[in-house]
Amino acid sequence: MCSVPPRPIESALPDLGAWAAHFLHAPIPVLAETAACLERMRAQEDSVDAHRLAEGIGADPLMTLKLLAHAAGARSARASGDPETVTAALVLLGIGPFFRAFGPQPTVADHLAGRADAQQGLQRVLRRSRRAATFALGFAVHRMDHDAPVIHAAALLHGFAEMLLWLHAPALALRIAQAQQREPARRSAAVQRELLHIELADLQHALMRAWRLPDLLVRISDERHADSAQVRNVLLAVRLARHSARGWDDPALDDDVRDIGALLNLGETPTRSLLRDLDG
């Protein structure tokens, strides 16, 4: 993850390998509020613990991704545990080493300065990811899943490949968004294959493997394992966040409520009540 921003990608790269190679070494800016929070805590390093620091990082999927990727490298070097959450990664690294590894962070606002369309597109994905994480955690708690924090992280990171596209190929991300607006019934994967030569889900999986993210996090994030209750937990949370992004009157929400009710062993009315409570 270099410090000099590469030139934006203007046309599709030839294949998955080329996309993955590009993003493996591309800088990942973070939200301005995250960068500011880290600098405040840096000044108080001696009194900051992992839980407090995690609160400043955990709502930012971009900083979460950077931290987990860095911790995965530290883990392999130390032959230590498998940090699956922000807090676990911070405990593994230690507060001092964390601040030495992560200096003042570049921000999304600076990276996309002059690209209001890209900033708006990225903000939509960020908002969807945060809502999906909230839903996923609520479902996992209801199911009494001991891996609830990892499920929360998986939902938060579910859209990170799309975020990277808005950051480093904003013109292509905008073309995809416009194509989906013109043809809302068309599958997003088909649009991605046409305009990018790949599907973002495949890119995301390749990057998670290349960064050696924890196996449990990778598995929960993999749609091919939809027979797992944990994977359905994440996928339904993401689906719900997407369909309810503009309100609770999308016709697709009826199927979401049915499937979420089946996952949680709840009827339609209590399921709808739970969803509104979680979104509130």
Which of these, 265, 280, 261, 62, lies nearest to 159 by C-alpha position?
62
Predicted pLDDT at 1: 43
Q: Which residues contact 223 (CB under 8 A, 6 or more apart)?
A: 201, 231, 235
Cα(162)–Cα(197) distance, rounded to whole angstroms? 14
Q: Which residues contact 280 (CB under 8 A, 6 or more apart)?
A: none
Q: If the chain, 280 residues long, is cut into consecutive pieces of 10 residues, what is the mean pLDDT of each piece?
A: 68 96 95 97 94 94 96 68 88 95 97 96 96 97 96 95 97 96 89 96 95 90 87 96 91 95 97 93
Helix (H) or strand (E) holding 152: helix 148-156
Predicted pLDDT at 4: 52
Residue span(s) of the chain under CATH 1.10.3210.10 come to: 114-279
CATH for 114-279, options being 3.40.50.720, 1.10.3720.10, 1.20.1440.120, 1.10.3210.10: 1.10.3210.10
Distances (CA, A) of 107 to 5, 36, 56, 59: 12, 10, 15, 15
Predicted pLDDT at 156: 96
Is there a contact between 200 and 165 (Cβ–Cβ < 8 Å)?
yes
